[in-house]
Amino acid sequence: MVGNWKMNPHSPEQALEIFTGIKKSASKYKNITTVLCPPAVFLGLLYKKTNTQVVLGAQGGEVEDTGAHTGLVSLEQYKKIGAEYVILGHSEERARGLSSKSVSEQVFVALKKGLVPIVCVGEDARDAKGQYVFKIINQLKESLAGIPKAKISKVVVAYEPLWAIGSGAKRSATVSEIEEVTIIIRRTLADMYSMKRVPQNTILYGGSVSDTALPAELVSLGAVQGFLVGRASLSEHTFAPLLSAVSKKQ
């Protein structure tokens, strides 16, 4: 279960409070790894509080280890401060100009550093003719270009349909809409790497996950193995019910 805190919360005190609250609940579920991804400035503080169940992830990251890049943080630095995962290619970063080519370079370096990349893909809108399917396939292929077959099983793919993300979302995606895309993702990976068996990569769903019914059903179907949660990961009160629902259905 991944919590994407985005550019929240206001202060280190609040970050610590949210982290501690979620850790209390998350530590109970031995079958779930909870990955909280705060802004870079809070990683050092929160690292001291991690345990085997609750670990840290970064949001994005530069491929060069160090250099004259004012305002940026490298994947190497994230790894060194204790992050184990990194969210790459989030739609909010893509909207600011991040290309799939750059995402693939980040994925490559993340894997080399020993970070687990959580690669986000998703269409901005659905259309009756099914063009969105090709968008997802192309985005996934481009975002993973150059990743060697030996490393591909380590990549986590997060399906995040843009139309279902954030406070402006019109509706959440349905179980069958999400299931269809998870099949497309696995088939695309199998095609890319000429695999005979269905790839067992961890697939997450993200997009206004707050209610427990959808996550519980998706996990029990085996369609996804977890969730990338935005707003609902900023409070123990909204995140703990999701953990509980997912844990029961595994």
Catalytically active residues are 90, 160
- Binding residues for ligand PGA, rule CB under 6 A, total 13
Extract the tokens encoding 89: 């290619």
- Of 203, 111, 119, 186, give the one whose Cα is nearest residue 150: 111
Site for ligand PGA in 111-170 (CB under 6 A): 160, 165-166
Query: b/e per residue, 63-97, with b = 16+ CB within 10 A?
Result: beeeeeeeeebbbbbbbeeebbbbbbbbbbbbeee
Q: Contact with ligand PGA (CB under 6 A): which of 4, 59, 77, 139?
A: 4
Smaller CB separation from ligand PGA, 9 or 230: 230
By the 8 A CB rule, do 152 and 201 touch? yes
- The region of 138-146, 148-156, 176-184, 223-231 touching ligand PGA under the rule CB under 6 A is 223-231
Output the smallest distance, CB 95 to ligand PGA, in A.
11
- Contacts with 114 (C-beta within 8 Å, 6 or more apart), sequence order: 79
Are 60 and 91 in contact, with CB atoms under 8 Å apart?
no
d(CA 75, CA 80): 9
Nearest distance from C-beta of residue 134 to ligand PGA, angstroms? 23
Q: Which stretch binds ligand PGA (CB under 6 A): 17-25, 58-66, 203-211, 218-226?
A: 203-211
CB 7 to ligand PGA: min, Å: 12
Q: Is 246 near ligand PGA (CB under 6 A)? A: no
C-alpha–C-alpha distance, residues 117 and 145, integer Å: 14
Q: How far is the CB of 114 from ligand PGA (least distance, A)?
A: 23
- Considering the rule CB under 6 A, would residue 204 count as an interface residue with ligand PGA? no
**102 part of the interface to ligand PGA, by CB under 6 A:** no
Q: Which residues bind ligand PGA (CB under 6 A)?
A: 4, 160, 165-166, 206-209, 228-232
